[in-house]
Amino acid sequence: MSDTLASKMYGKTVLVSGAAGFLGSHMCDRLLAEGAQVVALDNFITGHRRNIAHLQGNPSFRFVEHDITKPIDVGPVDYVINMASPASPKDYLEFPIETLDVGSFGTRNMLEIAARYNAKFLTTSTSECYGDPQVHPQVESYWGNVNPVGPRSCYDESKRFSEAITMAYHRSRGVRTSIARIFNTFGPRMKLNDGRVVPAFVDQALQGIPLTLFGDGSQTRSFCYVSDLIDGLYRLLLSTEVYPVNLGNPNEITIREFAEVITKLTETATGVVCKPLPEDDPRQRQPDITKARQVLGWEPKVDLTTGLLATIRYFQDLEGSSA
Ligand code: UDP
């Protein structure tokens, strides 16, 4: 439990959509640890029951299987955290219409709940709002470079719409809202087969096969460990900041270097195999977190090696238990 923010959650009810996802399930854990009552929604399109199995039987946790593109009323709540969406490129390419629906109809339904019960609303947006950015590092005031008709547009435009409708509810209905722009995040409970670089590389290394390097590996990303990200979201939930806030780790690395880190930490030597770079794959990505530092007093604490070792252990256990 955090020292300064702890008491804020006692007696409060928080609605979390996307609660069985990677980030959603960690958010539920944090809220429960802070003393909140959690009402959790998920339709398992990309989330997994395993991620919330440890919470079943907890009297402070209520799970409702529900697709938030359909309206729902779970009763009075104090906070709404909107985290439901396919989020890996592989998932949203498989479910492009569902991705657009959840960002639009889904976000609107969650905003309606916040408006009805005068609850504070937090939506989880993405660094993909910046598209293939021409400003580096990315600062919140940058409007982005998104291809509106490319393969990633279903995700990027869904999230951009979710930001727009959040601002509209704030301006016209007076809902208290916050918007997080989440950069690449990793940790236990990521899906092994969601195609993202962290589970893909770790799985390949553990299986003893070459790591699939897309393009020449010179593109960059900046990886944030899940506990840091959740702490940033929690602080933003309790803040009065209305405009988007970047949350991520500014420690930028090329994907080729990242493959070397995974190889070293898994103590393997399988090498890499080059595959074509996916269309519209951003060349570089690094959050400018000046605003989060100033407004939330937040910055990441967990270094890449520590976070990756915990993640590798999780995948080892998972593969061991399903063997
Ligand atoms: N990537 C890769 N090999 C993989 C999966 C991803 O080289 O097996 C690259 C991908 O092209 C991108 C980066 O790793 O440049 C991060 O991809 P990810 O799918 O994790 O997330 P993104 O940041 O693109 O949303």
Q: How many CB atoms lie within 10 A of CB 285?
A: 21
Region 219-245 average pLDDT = 98
Q: How far apart are CA 292 and CA 139, in angstroms?
A: 11
Query: What percent of the chain is predicted at pLDDT more than 90?
Result: 95
Check pLDDT > 60 for residue 292.
yes
Ligand 1 binding pocket includes 213 (Cβ within 6 Å): yes
pLDDT confidence band for 51 (50 / 70 / 90): very high
CB 93 within 8 A of CB 155: no
Each residue's pLDDT tens digit, 160-213: 999 999 999 999 999 999 999 999 999 999 998 899 999 999 999 999 999 999
Q: Are 250 and 299 in contact (CB under 8 A)?
A: no
Instruction: Give residue 322's pLDDT.
Output: 65
pLDDT of residue 135: 97
Q: Are 134 and 140 in contact (CB under 8 A)?
A: no
Nearest residue (CA) to ligand 1, atom 5: 197
What pLDDT, in 10s, does the model give residues 19-31? 999 999 999 999 9
The torsion angle over the Cα atoms of residues 227, 233, 239 and 241, rounded to 10 degrees, is 140
**164 and 108 Cβ atoms separated by less than 8 Å:** no
**Which pTM value belongs to this model?**
0.96
- Mean of per-residue pLDDT scores for the chain: 96
pLDDT single digits (tens) 201-216:
999 999 999 999 999 9
> Could you confirm whether 155 is annotated as catalytic?
yes
What is the 262 CA–ligand 1 centroid distance (Å)?
A: 14
* Separation of alpha carbons 272 and 126, rounded Å: 29
Atom of ligand 1 minimally distant from the CA of 204: 8
For atom 23 of ligand 1, which residue has the closest CA? 184
Q: Is 11 helix (H, G, I), strand (E, B) or coil?
A: coil
Please provide the CATH number assigned to the domain covering 3-186+226-249+286-301: 3.40.50.720
Distance CA 287, CA 183 (A): 7
Q: What is the pLDDT of residue 323?
A: 46
Ligand 1 mutation target, pool 138, 194, 196, 223, most atoms within 8 A of CB: 196
Q: Which residues contact 174 (CB under 8 A, 6 or more apart)?
A: none
Q: CA–CA separation, 50 vs 267, rounded Å? A: 28
Rg of the chain in Å (alpha carbons): 19
Which residues fall within 8 angstroms of residue 261, CB to CB, at 6 or more apart?
253, 304, 305, 308
318 Cβ partners below 8 Å, 6+ apart? Answer: 192
Neighbours of 261 (CB within 10 A): 15
For ligand 1, is residue 278 a contact (CB within 6 Å)? Answer: yes
Sign of CA dihedral 4, 9, 15, 19: positive
- pLDDT, one tens digit per residue, over 100-112 is 999 999 999 999 9
Dump the DSSP string for 215-253.
Answer: TTS--EEE-EEHHHHHHHHHHHHTS---S-EEES---EE
221 C-beta closer than 6 A to ligand 1 = yes
Better-scored residue on pLDDT, 148 or 2: 148
